[in-house]
Structure 1
Amino acid sequence: MASRTTRENLIEVGLELVRSAGYSATGINQILEVAKIPKGSFYHHFSTKDEFVMEVIRRYATGELDRLERNLDDSTRSPMKKLRRYFKDLMATYGRRGGPIAGCLLGNLSLEIGGQNAEIRSLLSTIFDAWQNALAKTLRDAIAAGELPKTAKADDLAALLVNGWEGAQVRAKADQSDKPLELFFDNTFNVLLKG
């Protein structure tokens, strides 16, 4: 197995640290110490912490978009079964699983620095839009398949799903409990999207 490049190592370590501690609590020196890389190497690859964090966000988003594809591009399942499987996957990944709930990096950074940095805010917004669009496509497929009423508005429902999931993540993090995630899931599939 080939070793990671210095840049890749920095991004992976940064993803872990920023996700668990947040933007403000994660310093460059801490990243360098965990990555076992000299300071000059960081500045060879990134000119600022914000530029670095944007790469960390992109890496996180790539993983989440891969999760969407894995769950929603399965032609053997109905659209609603794909959505259920997708949110179950999210719950399994972001729930307690025996450890503390760190929450969604996108939501965490939106709350922490989204209002202070226009570039990061724009990147976060773009990623949220891509996520919402993927869910809307699956919801349109569910409408076409008769799993949801013809009057359902896929784009509005997708926005509600993204916003509801992010809110459940914030509450789960505050409570260190899976209950908000479970409540989101149960109400999404047993009330909101009940065909």
Structure 2
Amino acid sequence: MARPSLREKIVESGVQTLHKRGYAGAGVREITADAGVAQGCFTNHFRSKEAFAVTVLDRYQERTQAIMDATLRDASRPAVERLHAYFDAIAEWLEAAGWRYGCLVGNMSLEVTEQSELLRTHLIDVSSALTSSFAEAVRAGQKAGEIRSDLDAADMAVFILASWQGAMMRMKVDRSPRPIEQFRRVLFATVLAS
């Protein structure tokens, strides 16, 4: 079995490092130490910390998109069930992390948008992809009469993602599932009601 490349080790480890420590809290020294590689390896594979963060965001997005594909885009289930399945899947991960880390996309959105135009514009693209998955599920629910149709699906998707990110931010502060549970109760009783 082939050994993973040093670049791959840095990226894989970097997802965890940036998620736990934040962009500003993780220097190249911490990133390479966490990956178990020499510090010089970083500059062999990434031209800057910003370029590295773009790669890490892409890897995180791939994983998030896989969850969305298995839940939000599962056409064999009713749309409301898809949405519940997505939030259930993410809540399991959040619980396993002790309600501490939230979403890397949301964390970086709060942290880096004033310091890095490259990361800000990349976060726009990543957030658009996330929003699109929610919008697809909402449209399916509207078409089936499961979800109210008096609001635009794209607007609802933006609202869902923004509210979800806010609930995860509060969850991190409280280190409790309560904000996530409150978000879900209100979302399904109002915005996603039929």
Secondary structure of the structure 2 residue equivalent to 1:72: coil
TM-score, normalised via structure 2 length: 0.94
- Report the residue type matching 2:81 in the other structure: K
Matched, 1:51 2:48: no
Question: Where does residue 86 of structure 1 map in the other structure?
Answer: 86
Secondary structure of the structure 2 residue equivalent to 1:147: coil
- Report the residue type matching 2:76 in the other structure: T
Question: What is the deviation of 1:187?
Answer: 0.9
- Report the residue type matching 2:46 in the other structure: F
Cα distance in 2 between the residues matched to 1:193 and 1:71: 16
Cα distance in 2 between the residues matched to 1:126 and 1:181: 25
User: Could you tell me whether the CA contact under 8 Å between 1:80 and 1:147 is conserved in 2?
Assistant: yes
Question: Where does residue 187 of structure 1 map in the other structure?
Answer: 186
Question: Where does residue 141 of structure 2 map in the other structure?
Answer: 142
Q: Could you list the runs of 4 or more consecutive aligned residues of structure 1 that deviate by over 4 angstroms after TM superposition?
A: none
User: Could you tell me whether the CA contact under 8 Å between 1:143 and 1:152 is conserved in 2?
Assistant: no
Q: Percent identity at matched positions?
A: 30
- 1:120-177 deviations in Å (ceiling 9; x for gaps): 0011111111111111111111111111233231111111100000000110111111
TM-score, normalised via structure 1 length: 0.94
User: Could you tell me whether the CA contact under 8 Å between 2:171 and 2:177 is conserved in 1?
Assistant: yes
- Report the residue type matching 2:43 in the other structure: Y
User: Could you tell me whether the CA contact under 8 Å between 2:167 and 2:183 is conserved in 1?
Assistant: yes
- Aligned 1:161-176 pairs, distance under 5 A: 161-176=160-175
Question: What is the deviation of 1:50?
Answer: 1.0
Question: Where does residue 20 of structure 1 map in the other structure?
Answer: 20
Secondary structure of the structure 2 residue equivalent to 1:84: helix
User: Could you tell me whether the CA contact under 8 Å between 1:71 and 1:82 is conserved in 2?
Assistant: yes
